Amino acid sequence: MRGKTLLLLYILVLIPIISYSKGSDGKKKILFICSYSTDNEYSRTNISSFINTFSELQGDYQYATEALNCTSLDDRYRWVDYTRAVMEKHKDASMVVLIGTEALVSYFSQVDPEIRKIPVFATMGQKYCASMEGNEIPILYDKNVEFGLIDILGTAKQFNLQLFYYYDYEVKKDIELIKQFFPKTENIAILSDNSLNGLSHMRQIKSEVKKNFKNLKLKYIDGRKLNTDQAAERFKNLPENTSVMLCCWKYDKNNIVYMDNSKYTFIKANPNMPVFSLTGTGIGYWAIGGYIPQYRPLGMELAKKAYDYLETEDWNGPFISGYSDILKLDMHELKRLDLMDANIPSDVIYVNPDFDWGDYVRLYKWYFILGSGIFILISIGFIYSSLSNIHIRRLKHNLEKKDEQLEQEKNELLKYQKELIVAKDKADELSRLQSAFISNMSHEIRTPLNAIVGFSEVLISTIDPTEEQDEYIGIIQHNSDLLLKLINDILDLSRIEAKKKKLFFEKADIVPHLESVVLSMRPNAKENVNILFTHKEPSITVVTDLVRLQQVVINLIGNAIKFTDNGSITLDVENRPDEEMMLLSVTDTGCGIPADMQDKVFERFNKVNEFAQGTGLGLAICEATVKQFGGKIWIDKSYTSGTRFIFTIPTNHNESSNEE
């Protein structure tokens, strides 16, 4: 009876004070129902960003906000009725946005079918919530629920639920984290307060330990039964190998509200107690850390979804999902409790980061090694490219130098070339002058000599000489013959070299001509020497200069006669029309020419034996003549029984090629 009177009082007195709607001017309405006062930071920022975004989207709605002002569990008797009164007031709401676990629980406890039809967005509440003994929260109450936990989502499905973003605490991961840091842990102490959230957390942990960590013992520091001092006393006396799981500590059994001040009481009571946080409470102050939901501002996202739902056809909901969880650890606490070496997962987010280089190296050693590797590689690359650059520059410099040197050498060579051309011109001029001089001189000598020889012969023919005179005449004739031959030879050679002596081509059979040469020379040969003439073909008709050809043959046979005392001298001729030439040779069985002299005998005045008769011009004339024909003359080195001269005379001339 007393309870009902109190309830009526709440409805009649409190609702008008705590609620404010934006009036009812016939516009459609979105109703926000929050667990706590609208001054609560989360509620306020989310609602205002919802309204801003929704208005920007041109959503033309009224907004009404109702705060249930839920506090400790002692207060729970009024939550459902209070919510019913709120809904009575806002019957016309087009959508309800629930913020906080108590708002969710109270709303989903409503039985009115009209309420259950209204579209609902439920946020910032737990998925699993503690159910109560008694009938204070009738819909949620279910005695058979394991460990006194109820799945809100299951109940909410009886409503027009279009969106549910819930906290699904990762208790299992938290306990595994405790065991990783403190493998000796035997007890888990649950520190939870006298609030629906606190109780729900406590039951969730209890359920998890009973299911999956049966060897762990549970200790309770239960805010429903203890005031803060009693709780601190229990916290202080927790046995060894205990880790604390902090749910929250806001209301104690006396319903005294503690903000952050409770933490100092607990820290002071047992500073070295490892504390892990389920919700994020205490991390950065006295909890080591824990897996916690990734809280994020929702207003904007909810507004867009609400707009889609209410104002467009474009609705893909309902959207039902839990917040993803993150691992948050307090670096100070880890260092203080010497836990930095534990195998900390890499996706951790640190609060109170206070690194020294050692921490960096330990925590990020792989990144460090990788980074160092990359740095070293880049450095090596840089050094290599710098060295290459220097090397290339040096090469370029050397090349430029070499270029300069080459240019200099080229200039010098050009200079020498010019000098050489000048020298050659001079030499040519000298040679020409020399030839002219010799030719003139010889001419000048030959004319008087001819006169001397001629007139001597005339004189001799007119006298009858004595024996002694005859001898002198013989000497005179012999020497004047020699002198005349010398002069003729010099003249011949110089005329050939000065290209004044021309070839005269005529078609003839050379065989009889050469035969007569041999015949005429035979008497000059020594007694035991036979002069032979061999030719495969009976006649060899070619176009050639017969006189000059015979001159070469006479010279060669003359030499052979001079240097052959026994044996034979053979003239051979062979026509080779395919090669357009004749091959002639004069072979003797004489003294031969030493190998080192064989090339030199063609030079002027060069003789093997200085005392032998002759001036040493015969072979020079032969070579010059053969060359004029366009042929070649040489000594056959393979022949060693005397000397063999071989020469070629081209036969590709015709009579019309006679020079003028």
Q: Kindly list the residues in this chain that would bind Mg ion in the complex (CB under 5 A).
A: 559, 614, 618
Kindly state the helix (H) or strand (E) to which residue 269 belongs, with its residue range. helix 261-269
CA distances 145 to 160, 195, 307, 459, 464, Å, are: 24, 19, 37, 175, 181
Cis peptide before 523 (omega within 30 of 0): no
Residue 615 binds ligand ATP, judged by CB under 6 A: yes
According to DSSP, the residues that pair with 343 across neighbouring strands are none
CB of 525 to Mg ion, least distance (A): 15
Size of the site for ligand ATP (CB under 6 A): 20
570 binds ligand ATP (CB under 6 A): no
Q: Is 275 in the site for ligand ATP (CB under 6 A)?
A: no
Binding window for ligand ATP (CB under 6 A); candidates: 208-216, 417-425, 521-529, 590-598: 590-598
Picking from 375, 660, 291, the residue whose alpha carbon sits closest to that of residue 503 is 660
Shortest CB 444 distance to ligand ATP, Å = 21
Amino acid at 540: I
- CB-nearer residue toward ligand ATP: 298 or 601: 601
The DSSP annotation for 330-380 comes to EHHHHHHTT-TTS---TT-EEES----HHHHHHHTHHHHHHHHHHHHHHHH
Residue 433 vs residues 369, 440, 499, 617: alpha-carbon distances, Å: 93, 10, 14, 20
What is the number of other CB atoms lying within 10 angstroms of the CB of residue 420? 12
Answer whether 632's CB lies under 8 Å from 623's CB: no
Residue with the CB atom nearest ligand ATP in the bound state? 614
Applying CB under 6 A, the span of 324-332, 394-402, 506-514, 586-594 interacting with ligand ATP comes to 586-594
Say whether residue 608 binds ligand ATP (CB under 6 A).
Answer: yes
Could you tell me the two tokens for 479? 């020497």
Which of residues 217 and 604 has its CB atom nearest to Mg ion in the complex? 604
> With respect to ligand ATP, which residue has the nearer C-beta, 163 or 557?
557
614 is an interface residue for ligand ATP by CB under 6 A: yes
* Residue 529 touches which member of ligand ATP, Mg ion, none, C-beta under 5-8 Å by kind: none
Span 476-495, contacts to ligand ATP by CB under 6 A: 489
For ligand ATP, give the closer residue by CB, 400 or 565. Answer: 565
Q: How far, CA to CA in Å, does 432 sit from each of 383, 437, 498, 616, 621?
A: 71, 8, 8, 22, 18
For 594, phi then psi, to 5°, come to: -55, 145
Shortest CB 516 distance to Mg ion, Å: 20
Cβ atoms < 10 Å from Cβ of 229: 11
Site string for ligand ATP, 623-652 (x = CB under 6 A): --------------------x---------
Q: Which is nearer to ligand ATP, 280 or 642 (CB)?
A: 642
Using the minimum distance from each CB to Mg ion, give the nearer residue, 277 or 559: 559
Cβ of residue 441: shortest distance to ligand ATP, in angstroms? 18
**Nearest distance from residue 471's CB to Mg ion, in Å?**
27
Which of the stretches 266-274, 377-385, 393-401, 587-595 binds ligand ATP when contact is defined by CB under 6 A?
587-595
| Smallest gap from residue 551 Cβ to Mg ion (A) | 12
Give the one residue of 270, 616, 628, 658 binding ligand ATP; rule: CB under 6 A.
Answer: 616
Answer yes or no whether residue 518 interacts with ligand ATP by CB under 6 A: no
CB atoms near residue 45 (< 10 Å): 13
Binding at 317: pick from Mg ion, ligand ATP, none (beta carbon under 5-8 Å per type):
none
Check residue 617 for interaction with ligand ATP (CB under 6 A).
yes
Q: How many other CB atoms sit within 10 Å of the CB of residue 252?
A: 23
Structure tokens, 352? 């109170």
**Strand, helix or coil for residue 37:** coil
Q: Pick from ligand ATP, Mg ion, none: which does 643 bind, CB < 5 to 8 A by kind?
A: ligand ATP
Of 363 and 617, which CB lies nearer to Mg ion in the complex structure? 617
Print burial letters for 104-122: b (CB count within 10 Å at least 16), e (below 16): bbbbbbbeeeebeebbbbb
Please state the closest distance from residue 398 (CB atom) to ligand ATP, in A. 58
Q: Name the 3-class secondary structure at 637.
A: coil
Site for ligand ATP in 47-106 (CB under 6 A): none
Residue among 439 and 555 whose Cβ is closer to ligand ATP: 555
- The span from the CA of 250 to the CA of 261, in Å, is 9
Question: Pick from 612, 630, 636, 640: which binds ligand ATP (CB under 6 A)?
Answer: 612
Task: Pick one of Mg ion, ligand ATP, none as the site partner of residue 601 (Cβ within 5 to 8 A by kind).
Answer: ligand ATP
Task: For residue 516, give the 3-state DSSP assignment.
Answer: helix
Closest among 327, 292, 320, 50 to 166, alpha carbons compared: 320
Would you say 59 or 614 has its CB closer to Mg ion? 614
Nearest approach, Cβ of 649 to ligand ATP (angstroms)?
19
Among the listed residues 137, 231, 517, 601, the single contact to ligand ATP using CB under 6 A: 601
- C-alpha 140/C-alpha 156 separation (Å) is 10
Residues 6+ apart with CB under 8 A from 506: 543, 544, 545, 546, 655
**Closest CB to ligand ATP among 225 and 600?**
600
Q: Which of 191, 525, 560, 573 binds ligand ATP (CB under 6 A)?
A: 560
Task: Compute CA 86 distance to the chain's CA centroid, rounded to the nearest angstrom.
Answer: 71
| Other Cβ atoms within 10 Å of 549 Cβ, number | 25
From the list Mg ion, ligand ATP, none, pick the one residue 588 interacts with, judged by a Cβ distance below 5 to 8 Å according to partner type.
Answer: ligand ATP
Contact partner, 593, from Mg ion, ligand ATP, none, Cβ < 5-8 Å per class: ligand ATP
Q: Contact between 199 and ligand ATP (CB under 6 A)? A: no
Summarize as ranges the residues that interact with ligand ATP (CB under 6 A): 489, 559-560, 563, 588, 590-591, 593, 601, 607-609, 612, 614-619, 643
